[in-house]
Structure 1
Amino acid sequence: MAHETPFSAWKRTTTCGALRATDAGKEVILNGWVHRKRDHGGIHFINLRDRYGITQVVVDEESPEEVRRLVEALKYEYCIAVKGVVRLRPETMRNPQMPTGDIEVLATGIRPLSASEPLPFPIDDAIDAREELRLQYRYLDLRRPRMQRNLTLRHLVAWHAREYLVGKGFYEIETPTFIRSTPEGARDFLVPARLHPGRFYALPQSPQLFKQLLMVAGFDKYFQIARCYRDEDARGDRQPEFTQIDMEMSFVTQDDVLAETEGLMAHIFQKALGVDLSLPFPRLTYEEALDRYGTDKPDLRYGLELKDFTLHVDKGSFQAFQKVVAQGGVVKALVVEGGASFSRKEIEALEEVAKTYRAAGLAWMKVTEGGLEGGVGKFYQEAAPALITSLGARPGDLILLVGDTWKTACTALGAVRTAVARTRGLIPEGAFSFCWVVDFPMFEWNEEERKWDPAHHMFTMPREEHLPLLEKDPGAVKAAAYDLVCNGYELASGSLRIHDPELQRRIFKVVGFSEAEAASRFGFLTTAFKYGPPPHGGIAPGLDRLVMIMAGEETIREVIAFPKTAAGLSPLDGSPAEVDPAQLEELHLRVVLPEED
């Protein structure tokens, strides 16, 4: 026989979101929190809340005297149990905005389960509390309907990802969270090994090497809802610890990986949001994305494509642009429909955006019925008709121009494009626009160290036709790498992997890794590749960022249960924190703080 407790007789028989008109007349027990409380001349209304919804509880003259006395003492966020009878609300008092809006529960018994002190902020979506305060009392913040919806959505995304991948024959396999430190583009979080003084584990930046080992082991379809760690500066869509839907497949081409990922996204969006995505997603090369949108993560929910103005430079007399072109640079243009109404102050604000991205400045001219006016318009009056036609501009439009190296001109004007879209309200709400960006550069030149760095990681496969260029022209080599972009965010990154040990040695050599260093850092992987590794590739959609986009939030902190602040701090538990000196002694560690200036 089950052990009975004082609570047993008050255990809920239904939830606060379940009751409907068809339940009228039923005796029920509800458990939840006092969300709202109203006194209408001796008739008390309580909105009782749990994660399933809200039910209106009524205490009136039909309720027992003890209940009428108890209700007076209840305050917001008291946790209570209510016994009562479901009844229909009067027709004029029904609330079609609430799923339970047709009924109410007449309380025949109330039992306080626990009290609540005055709240640091209301349990309401319309709050204006500082984020640090919200994170300090995160358990209260998570009671708010918006946060409950966000974490419910996160649960659904993870569940439907598993549902899809398992249905496609993938195995979910865990990989270690204590590993050897390997260079993957960010700083590692290090964990001292007490039993091995002077040695450290690293927390994984990704399961990259281990999922490749699983391919060598013959598990040709792997996935994991993986926790990853990077010691880098936080921002809106980045945290020191994050979660990704990690995937790897053997015997696949790039098209196979992209198609499988599209199927996963379509399944998640349909099941979790009821949104049908259009497949396949459009594909842009890295160079095309920069040239047309000024970024390798373009937001395709709106137009505003960049145009080439370089061919028009010699038709005018603006010397700054002529100098840029003479030095091998380009001039990019952005036509803003109706932008002639922009004030000088608004244009100057856009110029500051361009300068943030290393542009020397932002030139402009307004299109009128008579030609071009303002800014640099006077330098292009004679060529105005042909120029306006070529750019697809019309009277009332604003033409914004940046002249610089190709990448700087594209990137700076791309940032201006984003700023214009936001200030002009061009971004449609509730829309999801996906695309692939492919054919990334294999290497990036490190000016400080005068060497080539891998643009993705050192195990990325180069495009086969570019293999002859590896040693003689690394900058021209394109990688079999791909990014999934949604609404201007990089949602996933992946590549085909090198499985040929000789090719891997060539890559190590290009990026300046000696054989001894490569063996020291990656020996366990390169050794495994001596034993018949299959061709393989993978991708890793970011779960936090995916849920953020689906929820319409602007930061991943709104979709993580217990996130850190932008400075990497946790107001909830006070981490990172100092530790007991005895713990440091056990680890043979000593803390040396930087000297104050």
Structure 2
Amino acid sequence: MAESMNGLKRTHRCTEVTKAEIGSTVTLMGWVQKSRNKGGIVFVDLRDRSGIMQIIFENGDIDEEGFEKAGRLRSEFVIAVTGRVEARSGAVNENLKTGEIEVRAGALRILSESETPPFPIEENSKTREEVRLKYRYLDLRRPDLQRNLIMRSRVAVLVRQFLANEGFLEIETPILNKSTPEGARDYLVPSRVHPGSFYALPQSPQIFKQLLMCSGYDRYFQIAKCFRDEDLRADRQPEFTQIDMELSFVDVDDVIDVNERMLAFLFKEVLGVEVQLPIQRMTWTEAMNRFGSDKPDLRFGMELTDVSEVVKGCEFAVFKNALEAGGSVRGINAKGQGSMPRKKIDKLVEFAKGYGAKGLAYIAIQEDGSVKSSFAKFMKEEEMKALIEAMLGEAGDLLLFAADKTKLVWDVLGALRLELARQMELFDKEEYRFVWITEFPLLEWSEEENRFTAMHHPFTMPFEEDIPLLDTDPGAVRAKAYDIVLNGNEIGGGSVRIHQNDVQEKMFEALGFEKEQAYKQFGFLLDAFKYGVPPHAGLAYGLDRMVMLMAKEESIREVIAFPKVKDASCLMSEAPNTVDEKQLDELGIALKVQEDEQ
């Protein structure tokens, strides 16, 4: 039978009680982690968000009714205990923060009873994720998840503190916006008052934060909810949180400076990790050439080598055809993997095919210096020797090559490099390795749309000296854009924005926008730019992803209180769901049933 608190006040959380309180009386409240009834004495581990305290119920210290109640305690009962703090009578538990003390109970109230939970509330749960997410309110009681959410809260508080001290103002931007279909799909919200019209949920506060710069607010930030209707993966959700900022009268170095200092502050305060400043910078071209990725993991080597020049005269058709089509031949050296079994190499070939490769060529250098290769018969001896030398191949190494369009070669070898590093355990999980990637291409060619598209968004500023190339060679124009990468994950990105009308018009032309079309989508921003707009730049972090990396988790679902699963549904609340006809009628919406094709 549940009791009320009836004026009882909690004095401490479990781990707030220390040896200094020995001899004093405390009142603790929380959940029963486990209970052990030894006859005349009952041991209970009491849990709250701070951790665990051992409680002892012994006949004589507590009245008979209280002792009888203690004997009935089960896992996840919610209780209030008043008792005296003592040094542990048994062995000290070094795994617990409170391992040197215990509380001898003088009074007990059962505030709420619990059915047997569908899975144990414990760290490193082995329970299937689907079950945990269905009962997320129970899953969130687990100490490791609670630590993650406490860390997330701490990061948000420290970000606010740091940016406020730097002169930023926290300003909220609207959630109900106009749809501007550039980028991912919008989530749409029908309007009852304007039948047939829709709001869009924001993919980011981009346009509004630029308008705030036009309005003279100088330095803005927001911890903003954003929404994208796109396919999910481990580090992506349909709704996510950005640390969003915009600054006026600045250029690239100013934005990087304030953000480097913020990252150093966060990692020192939250993890005790010193971030060495300044953070390394690398251009997009260098990152792609060396690592096959614009979010390189710098915790290990195994860099890509361009061997196009070395093999250009050879008769191996795969290399020859790629070079004749304007592509390239590149390789990576997996040191010490020359004895990898053929079956394992075949698995790597299949892995590469998953990224669009037609296959992988390889050279396995044996310990005795002899060579096994998938293409040796097409190469002259001196050509093979030159190729191995170019790859710095030594006895015991495995050399892997991809040949195709350069973008595809980068993708394949960039992914293969990470896969091999996982297999070879080259990551130091305690290391946090930051790098800024700068000078991105402003535009990329879309085969699908047969036109250039913005690599970031249409308001990104090109390098001043590259502006003439917008007319002659748009693909060569560099953007004043920058991403901050941590351990191979992009955690934030931004750019200097275009603030001159003529440059913005040139950009829209390069993107194939008619002036009318641009005004239809972004008219209110372009109108605002007619009334005096300062040079401005910004950056946004994925808060979920940053905390995921800080907490050393594999999925952002582990740092979000109520996440969605792969099909963007919530297993606990069963959202999305149907609504009744009356609501649809009010909105003027009729559902069209899609019949399955027979």
Q: TM-score, normalised by structure 1?
A: 0.96
Contact 2:311–2:383 at 8 Å: present in 1 too? no
2:69 aligned partner: 70
Displacement of 1:11 in angstroms is 2.3
Cα displacement (A) at 1:319: 3.1
Q: Secondary structure at the match of 1:453?
A: strand
Query: Is residue 307–residue 390 contact of structure 2 (8 Å, CA) maintained in 1?
Result: no
- Give the Cα separation in 1 of the matches to 2:360 and 2:104: 67
How far did residue 414 of structure 1 move? Answer: 1.1
Contact 1:336 1:398 in 2 (8 A): yes
Q: C-alpha distance in 2, partners of 1:282/1:380?
A: 42
Alpha-carbon separation, structure 2, partners of 1:74 and 1:102 = 24
Q: Percent identity?
A: 48
Aligned to 1:436: 436
Structure 2: how far apart are the matches of 1:214 and 1:254?
19
Alpha-carbon distance in structure 2 between the residues aligned to 1:524 and 1:572: 40
- Aligned-pair distance for 1:120? 1.0
How big is each residue's C-alpha offset from its partner over 1:242-265, in whole Å with a ceiling of 9 and x where there is no partner?
A: 001001001111111111111111
Q: d(CA) in 2 for partners of 1:316 and 1:328? A: 16
Counterpart position of 1:246: 244
Equivalent residue runs for 1:256-295 within 5 Å: 256-295=254-293
Instruction: Tell me, yes or no, if structure 1 residue 574 matches structure 2 residue 568.
Output: no
> Which amino acid is the alignment partner of residue 166 of structure 2?
K
Counterpart CA distance in 2 for 1:462 and 1:555 is 35
Contact 1:329 1:405 in 2 (8 A): yes
Which residue is equivalent to 1:496?
496
Q: Does 1:461 align with 2:461?
A: yes
Cross-structure match for 1:349: 347
User: Residues 263 and 380 (structure 1 numbering): CA distance in 2 closer, same or farther, change over 3 Å?
Assistant: farther
- CA distance in structure 2 between the aligned counterparts of 1:277 and 1:435, rounded to whole angstroms: 11
- In structure 2, the residue matched to 1:506 is 506
Residue pairs, 1:156-235, within 5 angstroms: 156-235=154-233
Alignment of 1:131-150 (within 5 A): 131-150=129-148
CA distance in 1, matches of 2:250, 2:312: 49
Output the CA distance in 1 between the equivalents of 2:384 and 2:447.
41
Of 414-423 and 317-326, deviating more is 317-326
Residue identity opposite 2:138 in structure 1: L
Q: Which residue is equivalent to 1:421?
A: 421
Q: Provide Cα deviations, 1:124-153, integer angstroms capped at 9, x if missing partner.
A: 013222222211111110100110000011
Shift of 1:231: 0.8
1:409 maps to: 409
Q: In 2, are the aligned partners of 1:226 and 1:246 still within 8 Å (CA)?
A: yes
- How far apart are 1:315 and its partner, in Å? 6.5
| TM-superposition CA deviations, 1:270-297 (whole Å, max 9, x none) | 1111111111121121121111111111
1:107-134 Cα deviation digits (max 9, x unpaired): 1111100011110111001322222221
CA distance in 1, matches of 2:380, 2:280: 36
What is the Cα deviation at residue 70 of structure 1? 0.9
Quote the offset at 1:323 in angstroms: 2.6
**CA distance, structure 1, for counterparts of residue 270 and residue 371 of structure 2:** 50
Letter matched to residue 363 of structure 1: A
Moved more, 161-170 or 370-379: 370-379
Number of the residue aligned with 2:447? 447
Corresponding residue of 1:585: 585
**Structure 1 counterpart of 2:265, one-letter code:** H
Partner of 1:99: 97
Q: Cα deviation per residue 1:508-528 (whole Å; 9 max; x = unaligned)?
A: 122122222211211110010
Unaligned residue ranges in structure 1 (runs of 5+): none
Specify the SS of the correspondent of 1:498: coil
Question: Structure 1 residues 261 and 143 mapped into 2: Cα distance closer, same or farther (>3 Å)?
Answer: same
| Deviation readout 1:333-370 (Å, 9 max, x if unpaired) | 11011111211111111111211111111111112343
Measured in 2, the distance between the counterparts of 1:184 and 1:383 equals 48
Please give the alpha-carbon distance, in whole angstroms, between the structure 1 residues aligned to 2:160 and 2:119: 37
Secondary structure at the aligned position of 1:389 is classed as helix
Letter in 2 for 1:139: Y
Question: Across the two proteins, how many residue pairs are aligned to each other?
Answer: 592
User: 1: distance between equivalents of 2:564 and 2:459?
Assistant: 31
The CA deviation string for residues 45-70 of structure 1, in whole angstroms up to 9 with x for no partner, is 10001111110001123433222211
Q: Does 1:81 align with 2:58?
A: no
Give the deviation of 1:42 after TM superposition: 3.4
Report if the CA contact (8 A) 2:330-2:401 is conserved.
Answer: yes
Aligned to 2:30: 32
Most deviating of 357-366 and 40-49 = 40-49
Q: Secondary structure at the match of 2:530?
A: coil
- Partners of 1:405 and 1:229 in 2: CA distance: 34
Letter in 2 for 1:67: G
Distance between the aligned counterparts of 1:510 and 1:410, measured in 2?
26
- Equivalent-residue separation in structure 2 for 1:315 and 1:513 (angstroms): 44
The Cα of 1:427 is off from its aligned counterpart by 0.9
Asked if the contact 1:371–1:381 (Cα under 8 Å) also holds between the matched residues in 2, the reply is no
Q: CA distance change for structure 1 residues 327 and 520 in 2, over 3 Å: closer, same or farther?
A: closer
Residue identity matched to 1:461: M
Letter in 1 for 2:555: T
Tell me the amino acid that sits aligned with residue 356 of structure 1: G
Rounded Cα–Cα distance in structure 1 between residues aligned with 2:205 and 2:330: 40
Q: Secondary structure at the match of 1:567?
A: coil
Distance 1:35 1:579 in 2: 40
Of the structure 1 ranges 6-15 and 570-579, higher mean CA displacement relative to structure 2 is found in 6-15
In the other structure, the counterpart of 1:470 is: 470
Aligned pair in 2 of structure 1 residues 86, 249: CA closer, same or farther (>3 Å)?
same
- Would the aligned equivalents of 1:371 and 1:385 in 2 still touch at CA under 8 Å? no
Work out whether residues 310 and 390 of structure 2, in 8 Å CA contact, stay in contact via their aligned partners in 1.
no
What is the one-letter code of the residue matched to 1:246? D
Q: Cα distance, 1:314 vs. partner?
A: 4.4
Q: Is contact 2:190-2:587 (8 Å) kept?
A: yes
Matches of 2:327 and 2:145, distance apart in 1: 48
Q: Secondary structure of the equivalent of 2:585?
A: helix
Does the CA contact (< 8 Å) of 1:372 and 1:381 recur in 2? Answer: no
- Letter of the 2:454 partner, please give it: P
Alignment of 1:377-416 (within 5 A): 377=376, 379=379, 381-416=381-416
CA distance in 2, matches of 1:225, 1:84: 42
Find the counterpart in structure 2 of residue 553 from structure 1: 553
Compared with structure 1, are the counterparts of its residues 314 and 372 closer, same or farther at alpha carbon in structure 2 (3 Å cutoff)?
A: farther
Distance in 2 (alpha carbons) for counterparts of 1:6 and 1:370: 79
Any conservation in 2 of the 1:184–1:205 contact (CA below 8 Å)? no
Tell me if structure 2 keeps the 8 A contact 1:138–1:572.
yes
The superposition leaves residues 454-484 of structure 1 with CA deviations (integer Å, 9 ceiling, x where unpaired) of 1110111111111111122211111111111
Higher mean C-alpha deviation, range 509-518 or range 396-405: 509-518
1:541 maps to 541
1:46 counterpart residue number? 44
Q: How many Å separate the matches in 2 of 1:444 and 1:315?
A: 31
Structure 2: distance between partners of 1:315 and 1:595: 57
Q: Report the equivalent of 2:297.
A: 299
What TM-score, normalized to structure 2? 0.96
- Pick which of 388-397 and 93-102 moved more: 388-397
Match of 1:521 in 2: 521
Per-residue CA shift, 1:3-31, capped at 9, x if unaligned?
xx941343211111111222111111110
Does the 8 A contact of 1:292 with 1:307 survive in 2?
yes
Following superposition, the deviation at residue 194 of structure 1 comes to 1.0
**SS in structure 2 at match of 1:223:** strand
Structure 2 counterpart of 1:268, which letter?
A: L
